[in-house]
A and B are shown apart, each in its own frame.
Chain A
C-alpha cells in the first residue's frame, strides 16, 4: 500500500477523497513514523485528519502546521501534500529531518477546511469560508481565520455573514477552529504553529489584530528573514517578511495571533505563490516548484525551533 504514495501525482490538484485515501497510503508506507489522527469533524461532518510524524517518546515538544484553512487556496493544500511526502522520505536520509523528528513531533493538517475544500471542487471554486449555516442569514460560512480568540471581532474582520471575512458569532464558534484549539490545548507542548496560505509571497508573524510589536519581534523577524533566504535560494522567488498588520493589513481573530498569545512563540504564516498572475488559480505545474521552495523555508523554521528550546 505504501507504493501508492510513490505513484501519487503531486503535480496536480486532488479532490478530498483522493487526499484522504493518500493519507492512508502514507500511514501504511511509514507505519513507524506517521499516524493519522482524527481531531474531530467538520460542520458537514467530514472527518478532520492530522498526520502526526513521531518517532516515539512521550509528549515531546511539537510543531503544528496547517494548510488550506481558506479552501480556495489550493496551492496551500497541494504543497502540504508534497511536503508531507518529502518529510517522510527524507527521514533517515537527511540528517536534519532525522534529527528534527528524533526530538520533536510534527502535526501536519493538510485540509484544514474540508467542507470548503469539497465545495470548491463541486460548486464554487472561489469559496473561501467554512460551510456553516448562519442563523438569520441566507449567506453561509465563517472565515476560519477570523474566528480565533485573538482580538476577536476587531478591525479587519466583518460582522456581516455575507462577507468573505465574517468572523462568526463568537470566538471558536467554527467547529473546524475549535477542533484545532482543543488539540493544541489538550496536548500542550507545542513550540511552533505555522499556517500555510496563498497567495502574495509573504512570511508573517503576529500580530494581525493590532499593529503593536510582539515581545519577540526581533527574533521572529530574524528567523523569518533567514527562512525566506533559504526559500529564495532555489528559484529566486521574492518574499516579504513582517507582522501581519504591517505587511498586509490589520486582521483580527487570526490563528497565529491566538497561538502566540497562548505561549507558542514561533508562530508564522506563509502566503505562497504567486504575486499576481494567477492569484488563487495557480496552475498545477507550479505546485512542485512552490512546494519545493516552501519546504526550504519551513525546514529552516523547524530547525531553528529544534535548536532553540524554551
Chain B
C-alpha cells in the first residue's frame, strides 16, 4: 500500500494571472511529483496541491519567493488516511 507520510495538501490562493501562469509551470513540471487536486485556472478559485514530503520545502519556497499566498489544508495526508482506514475496519467488523 502506498504511503503518504509527511505529505501535505496546500491550498493556494493566486492573486493574479501572472501567479496563475507560475502555478501552471509548476503543474506542467514533473520534478516535484505534484498532484493538483484542483487546477490553476483563475484567481477566483483556490488551487489545492498534494505535495510529497520530499518536495515540500522546494514548493513552499517557490510559492513564498513568488509571493503566492497559501496555507496548509492537510497537515499530514497519511494521518488522515490512517484514520479513514481505522473507520473502515471498525465499520467492517
Contacts and interface: CB of A to CB of B under 8 A. Distances in A.
B48 A12 contact: no
By secondary structure, the A interface counts as loop
Contacts of B84: 13, 125, 281, 283-284
Contacts of A276: 11, 46, 48, 73
Contacts of B48: 276, 279
A124 B35 CA distance: 13
B81 interface: yes
Interface in B70-93: 73-74, 77, 80-81, 84, 87-88, 91-92
Given A12-B91, A125-B81, A248-B39, A277 B4 contact: no
B2 A249 contact: no
A12 B88 contact: yes
Contacts of B66: none
A281 B74 contact: yes
B63 to A, nearest CB: 16
A120 B39 CA distance: 22
Nearest to A248: B41
A164 interface: yes
Interface string B15-40: 00000000000000010000111111
A279 B9 contact: yes
Contacts of B30: 162
Given A164-B35, A279-B74, A9 B41 contact: no
A235 interface: no
Nearest to A163: B30
Contact of B2 (A12, A15, A124, A281): A124
A126 B74 CA distance: 14
A200 B81 CA distance: 20
Chain B interface size, under 10 / 10 to 19 / 20 to 34 / 35 or more: 20 to 34
A2 to B, nearest CB: 21
B41 A126 contact: no
A163 to B, nearest CB: 9
A126 B80 contact: no
Contact of A122 (B1, B39, B50, B73): B1
B45 interface: yes
Contact of A123 (B1, B4, B35): B1
A280 B91 contact: no
Interface string A182-211: 000000000000000001100000000000
Contacts of B4: 125-126
B88 A13 contact: yes
Contacts of A284: 84, 87, 91
A279 B73 contact: yes
Given A122-B1, A278-B74, A281-B80, A9 B11 contact: no
Nearest to B40: A249
Contacts of B2: 123-126
Which 5 pairs from chain A and chain B are nearest by CB? A249-B41, A12-B91, A124-B2, A281-B80, A279-B37
26 contacts: A9-B91, A122-B1, A123-B1, A123-B2, A124-B1, A124-B2, A125-B2, A125-B4, A125-B81, A126-B2, A126-B50, A162-B30, A164-B36, A199-B37, A200-B38, A248-B38, A249-B39, A249-B40, A250-B41, A276-B11, A276-B73, A278-B80, A279-B73, A281-B74, A283-B87, A284-B87
